[in-house]
């Protein structure tokens, strides 16, 4: 029996072990799809249904109109708390009734009618730093747009206006929809999880069931065993990745502006690197429980260092070097680019080539650990 035939039979055996066992089938199929739905709607940086305090000291028409602008966005600020003094502002923030307070000064209407750019104070709850930063962006945009409209009316009336105010234009995600940013990143995170689970449990399952010794006395060589364990993980993760792309486009309505073959090629190189990590974990684990703990021990820092929630540049320099050897960092960037940007291969290549040495290292090191455990 030749080597290809031996590997083919081991691959079939691995597929049967995964999909005939109800527990393995549940772990591989159900959690990633549930996490795609939960994280897409739950793990979002968008601010919704927050409380907003309004402290309006301006009795003029424009001050009241600006306050009405904030009351007209119930999705973002579902609860408006009127404040009559700074004591009310302090109490609303101290008790976390509001995330932000907008203070409209007494001279707001007078400044706009005189052609001057007024100052509006925005007080934020820094205990919720990420949400406060997003709320600051919302409030600043409302004030800016209102001031631009008022100044435009003044220009139409032939009155002088102050200096130009910059206008922001967003590329690739024009409406800053949070799903457009999070769902493509979840493609890399969840295929990472599937690959780790399948490969991490493969060798550990053999040891726990007592069939690993039978595998060793078979004609299969150690390298052939590793290939037979890796192929089912690649195929399963690829299938789940394709299903996630279909869900992202049809259910979430995401655009897919790039090349599907380009994304598939990058995903293949990424999965090779993760297969090496999974086999490394599986090779040093004696039980499936140890393999699961090892997989999740790897997943948590990998996600935190991937740029999924915060930019990689925000990570402290002392540990930022870890992002350079984190395969998930590159896949998150590639997935977002292909979904939203339609990049050329030259643009994607700088994010693909680092995966090649990472894949070579993880695969070779897992093979070494596997042979070391056999001795």
Q: What is the pLDDT of residues 60-104, one digit of tens each?
A: 888 888 888 888 877 678 788 999 988 999 888 888 888 889 999
Apex CA 45: angle with CA 44 and CA 46, to 5°? 90
pLDDT value at position 351? 93
Q: What is the distance between the alpha carbons of residues 327 and 274, in angstroms, rounded to a whole number? A: 7
Q: What is the distance between the alpha carbons of residues 373 and 235, in angstroms, rounded to a whole number? A: 26
Asked whether 125 and 93 are in contact (CB, 8 A), the reply is yes
Distances (CA, A) of 62 to 56, 57, 145: 11, 12, 13
Of all residues in the chain, what percent are helix, strand and coil, respectively (each to 5)? 70, 5, 25
**37 vs 231, higher pLDDT:** 231
pLDDT single digits (tens) 285-310? 778 788 888 888 899 899 888 888 77
Most confident of 168-172, 314-318, 371-375: 314-318
Can you tell me which residue has the tokens 């540990």?
319
Asked whether 264 and 150 are in contact (CB, 8 A), the reply is no
pLDDT single digits (tens) 23-49? 666 767 777 777 777 777 666 666 777
Asked whether 105 and 112 are in contact (CB, 8 A), the reply is no
Mean per-residue pLDDT, 12-16: 75
- Give the number of C-alpha atoms closer than 13 A to the C-alpha of residue 27, restricted to the C-beta side: 21
Q: What is the distance between the alpha carbons of residues 120 and 102, in angstroms, rounded to a whole number? A: 7
* β-strand partners of 100: 52, 124
Q: How many CB atoms lie within 10 A of CB 266?
A: 24
Rg of the chain's alpha carbons, rounded to an integer? 27
Ordered domains of the chain (ranges, CATH): 3-43+176-374 (no CATH), 50-156 (3.40.1710.10)
pLDDT value at position 173? 79
Q: What is the distance between the alpha carbons of residues 236 and 257, in angstroms, rounded to a whole number? A: 25
Q: What is the distance between the alpha carbons of residues 19 and 236, in angstroms, rounded to a whole number? A: 11
pLDDT single digits (tens) 134-193? 888 888 888 888 887 877 766 545 555 444 444 556 778 777 777 888 888 888 998 998
pLDDT value at position 164? 42
Per-residue tokens: 20? 């005939």
**Tell me, what DSSP letter sits at residue 354?**
T
**What share of the chain in percent tops pLDDT 90?**
18
pLDDT greater than 50 at residue 312: yes
Per-residue tokens: 19? 């999909």
Q: What is the distance between the alpha carbons of residues 102 and 107, in angstroms, rounded to a whole number? A: 15
Q: What is the distance between the alpha carbons of residues 118 and 107, in angstroms, rounded to a whole number? A: 8
Reported as a pLDDT band with limits 50, 70 and 90, residue 374 is: low
């Amino acid at each position: 029996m030749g080597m290809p035939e031996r590997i083919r039979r081991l691959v079939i055996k691995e597929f049967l072990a995964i999909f005939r066992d109800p527990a393995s089938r549940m772990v591989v199929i159900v959690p990633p799809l549930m996490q795609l739905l939960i994280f897409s709607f739950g793990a979002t940086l968008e601010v919704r249904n927050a409380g907003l305090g309004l402290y309006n000291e301006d009795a003029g028409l424009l001050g009241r109109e600006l306050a009405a602008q904030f009351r007209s966005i119930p999705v973002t600020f579902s609860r408006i708390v009127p404040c009559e003094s700074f004591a009310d502002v302090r109490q609303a923030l101290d008790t976390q009734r509001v995330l932000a307070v907008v203070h409209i000064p007494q001279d707001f209407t007078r400044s706009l009618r005189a052609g001057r750019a007024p100052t509006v104070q925005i007080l934020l709850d820094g205990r919720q730093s990420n949400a406060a930063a997003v709320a600051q962006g919302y409030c600043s945009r409302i004030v800016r747009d209102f001031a631009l409209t008022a100044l435009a009316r003044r220009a139409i009336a032939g009155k002088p206006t102050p200096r130009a105010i910059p206008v922001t234009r967003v590329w690739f995600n024009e409406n800053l929809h949070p799903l457009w940013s999070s769902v493509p990143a979840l493609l890399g995170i969840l295929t990472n999880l599937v690959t780790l689970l399948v490969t991490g449990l493969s060798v550990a399952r053999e040891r726990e069931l007592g069939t690993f010794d039978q595998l060793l006395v078979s004609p299969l060589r150690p390298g052939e065993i590793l290939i037979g364990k890796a192929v089912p993980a690649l195929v399963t993760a690829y299938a789940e990745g394709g299903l996630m792309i279909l869900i992202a486009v049809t259910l979430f309505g995401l655009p897919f502006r790039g090349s599907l073959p380009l994304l598939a090629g990058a995903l293949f190189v990424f999965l090779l690197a993760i297969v090496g990590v999974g086999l490394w974990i599986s090779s040093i684990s004696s039980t499936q429980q140890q393999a699961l703990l090892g997989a999740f021990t790897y997943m948590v820092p990998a996600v935190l260092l991937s740029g999924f929630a915060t930019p990689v540049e925000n990570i402290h320099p002392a540990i930022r070097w870890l992002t350079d050897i984190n395969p998930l960092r590159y896949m998150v960037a590639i997935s977002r680019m292909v979904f939203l940007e339609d990049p050329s291969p030259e643009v994607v290549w700088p994010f693909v080539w680092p995966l090649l040495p990472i894949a070579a290292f993880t695969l070779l090191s897992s093979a070494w650990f596997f042979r070391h455990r056999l001795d």
